[in-house]
Chain A
């Protein structure tokens, strides 16, 4: 059974640019959540999509956005990149987005903003 696939694995962007990251969840999983991980702030929740609708949102500026397609694949976009956006971006898929059923994380996309 394929796991959660995130692409690209590494990315280097210049300040002011925008970036799009992709996440393919486990087949049959309808919930996809996105997290930002930095050494200083740890794992922070960005947003969750369930059946193409944003169901939950963390405390991040509007530069961070996402969407989910009918096949449950999800993308997140960061516009007007700042140096502080350098982080490991993780997505997690879940059957129904219910903690009791467990979440599976991808290996992440390492974004470096220069």
Chain B
């Protein structure tokens, strides 16, 4: 399983764009990159997933360079409700590898 490295914590003011970068140097050819968001006392929630280049949905964008050794989750114009822990996961498209969570990045949005 590819190991991921993310910053432990980040602070941001409301209305700013937040970029959280995840390193995954040992990513395999058939690995996907998935980001989850977790609020206290709740289960993680799927945010976005990608394989290469750029993916965008109504919540976030995911940028993946050509070598795929890192990825950046971009949250546009954050609000206080975006305060949460964000996890980057790397995993294969087969069913024999469970989701493995790292420590995640604790994002604090300040008014």
| A residues in contact (CB < 8 Å) with B | 4, 31, 33, 35, 42-45, 48, 50, 55-56, 58, 88, 90, 92, 96-100, 102-108, 110
Contact = CB atoms under 8 A, between A and B. Distances in A.
16 contacts: A33-B98, A42-B101, A44-B101, A45-B101, A55-B95, A56-B98, A90-B44, A99-B32, A99-B91, A100-B49, A105-B42, A105-B43, A105-B44, A105-B45, A107-B42, A110-B41
A48 B97 CA distance: 10
Interface of B: 32, 34, 41-46, 49, 87, 89, 91-104
Nearest to A99: B91
Contacts of A33: 98-99
B43 A107 contact: yes
Given A55-B96, A103-B99, 10 more contacts: A50-B95, A88-B41, A90-B43, A97-B95, A98-B94, A100-B93, A102-B46, A102-B49, A105-B43, A105-B44
B49 A106 contact: no
Contacts of B97: 56, 99
Contacts of B93: 98-100
B94 A92 contact: no
- A-B pairs, 9 with minimum CB distance: A105-B43, A99-B91, A43-B101, A97-B95, A100-B93, A56-B98, A90-B43, A100-B32, A98-B95
